[in-house]
Amino acid sequence: MNAWLSCDEQCTQILTHRPDLRLGHIIDVIRTTLAKNELPIVNGNDAANISELKYTDNDNLSTRIAAMIRASWHISLTSTGGIQGENGKVISFIQPGDGKWLQFIRHEQSKNGRGGMRRKGRLSAWLADKKGIPASITGGKEQFLEQRTIEDILLNTDTLLRGQRSVGTTFLPNILQQS
């Protein structure tokens, strides 16, 4: 959550575990948070360290929730600025159904990570291709975020979707899947 301290948006961290999703409780919590004009930051509750309750990783958790609530945008944070192409520069946009990005993924994870970039990419592609939800993978560290990044996503999604501005790597949605 520290990455978002530089913007003017109010954030709320929501810790959850598997039963919250099955009962639909998390949807009510997120709707309440959004109604208060707060940005929900959802993470698995590692304090509930019982394997039956624990979620595999936060990327899977947030993707499921984004699909459940029909989010207008999904953001995955990473220790890099996004998916890096062969020249080492971040790939700004990935078109629906384009799987070429997979060739640039290394099988490494950060020391505390569970999902990895391949998982983030696959989940983002699924949201964009199958659910019509744009999904960005961007760095969670201050050096990757411009002060207005989150505000741009929240207020100017059309600018991003037209390719006029990039936020890390953005998987553009399949408009046929939007509901």
Q: Where are the domains of the chain?
A: 2-177
pLDDT digit string, tens, across residues 110-136: 555 556 889 999 999 999 999 999 999
CB 21 within 8 A of CB 28: no
Torsion from C-alpha of 90, 96, 99, 103, nearest 10 degrees: 0
Whether residue 34 contacts residue 40, with contact meaning beta carbons closer than 8 Å, is answered with yes
Q: What does the alpha-carbon distance between residue 9 and residue 106 come to, in Å, rounded to a whole number?
A: 34
3-state secondary structure of 46: coil
Query: Confidence class of residue 43 from pLDDT cuts 50, 70 and 90?
Result: confident
Q: How far apart are CA 55 and CA 111, in angstroms?
A: 18
Buried-exposed string 36-71: b where 16+ CB fall within 10 A, e elsewhere: eeebbbbebeeebeeeeeebebbbbbbbbbbbeeeb
Rounded to whole angstroms, the Cα distance separating 168 from 164 reads: 13
Average of per-residue pLDDT values in the chain: 77
* 2-177: CATH superfamily: Acetylglutamate kinase-like (3.40.1160.10)
What is the predicted pLDDT for the residue at 41?
A: 84
pLDDT tens track for 98-109: 999 999 887 665
Number of CB atoms found within 10 A of residue 9's CB: 14
CA distances from 112 to 40, 115, 116, 166, 168 (A): 22, 10, 10, 27, 21
pTM for this entry: 0.76
Strands, DSSP E only, in 30-166? 38-44, 74-78, 93-94, 135-139
